[in-house]
Amino acid sequence: MTTSIHPLGGALVLENVGTLVRVRQLRSEDLPRIPGLMRRVYAPPQYGPEAVWSEHSLSRHLEIYPQGQFVAVTSEGRLAGTATGMRVSLTRALGPHTWHGITARGTLESHDPQGKAFYGVNIAVDPELQGLGIGRLLYRARLRVGQEEGCLAFVAGARLAGYHRHRAMAPEEYLGEVCAGRIYDPTLSKQLALGFIVRGLLRDYAPDPQTGGHAALIYRAL
């Protein structure tokens, strides 16, 4: 399997075994397809209805901070993934917080145009296309925007997607084992491979049966 990532016309392009995926900023014509993708990734009965954004909410994201909204599209025009970001103060991003609190329940109304932290609000990749590097491409696009806008760091809450298999451990212990490389976490381990470091545990970050609601506070200097 060969994968390459390169810029093309201001976008990032991934080529993987003949599959071409282009990441670009979100456009209004993309909005009708995103709720369906989110329903496939975040089953509402499991994560709650707020896990799937409406077209109206997505349109509002574009109004508030268009630079931070991205989609990944295949050469055939298939929507492969989406990612959302906003800016907040570095102090707020690195302090204790919940997903609902820092994102204003996913509305991005808490976006601070002067904030020095680019905050990763959401990322979703079509389950049928996972494993091709699309999530990595979406991260790279957001990292690039954060750098271009003068942010000092990319910060996010990383799901502890494998914690449900280790419930005998306290979440802090599980987090330490993943950071040490003794346990592989399907989400956090990939983010560590992208150069993020863990700054702590965010307890009760967001409703999530797999993680017990907890997340790792991840940080990457820009």
Q: What is the CATH number of the domain that holds 145?
A: 3.40.630.30
Residues 113 and 197 placed together within one structural domain of the fold: no
The fraction of the chain above a pLDDT of 70, given in percent, is 88
**Average pLDDT of the segment spanning 137-141:** 94
Q: Of 180, 178, 176, 177, whose CA–CA distance to 188 is shortest?
A: 178
Exposure class string for 2-21: b at 16+ Cβ within 10 A, else e = eeeeeeeeebbbbbbeebeb
Q: Of 78, 88, 163, whose CA–CA distance to 128 is shortest?
A: 78
Res. 7: pLDDT tops 80: no
Using 50, 70 and 90 to split pLDDT, how confident is the model at 12?
Answer: low
| Tokens describing residue 169 | 């451990």
Whether the Cβ atoms of residue 146 and residue 83 lie closer than 8 Å to each other: no
Q: Check residues 7 and 114 and name the one with the higher pLDDT.
A: 114
Q: Check residues 15 and 39 and name the one with the higher pLDDT.
A: 39
Q: Check residues 159 and 5 and name the one with the higher pLDDT.
A: 159
Residues 198 and 109 placed together within one structural domain of the fold: no
**Average pLDDT of the segment spanning 127-144:** 92
Range of the domain at 127: 3-151
Predicted pLDDT at 2: 39
Residues 38 and 141 placed together within one structural domain of the fold: yes
Residues 163 and 64 placed together within one structural domain of the fold: no
The pLDDT mean for the chain works out to 90
Residues 130 and 24 placed together within one structural domain of the fold: yes
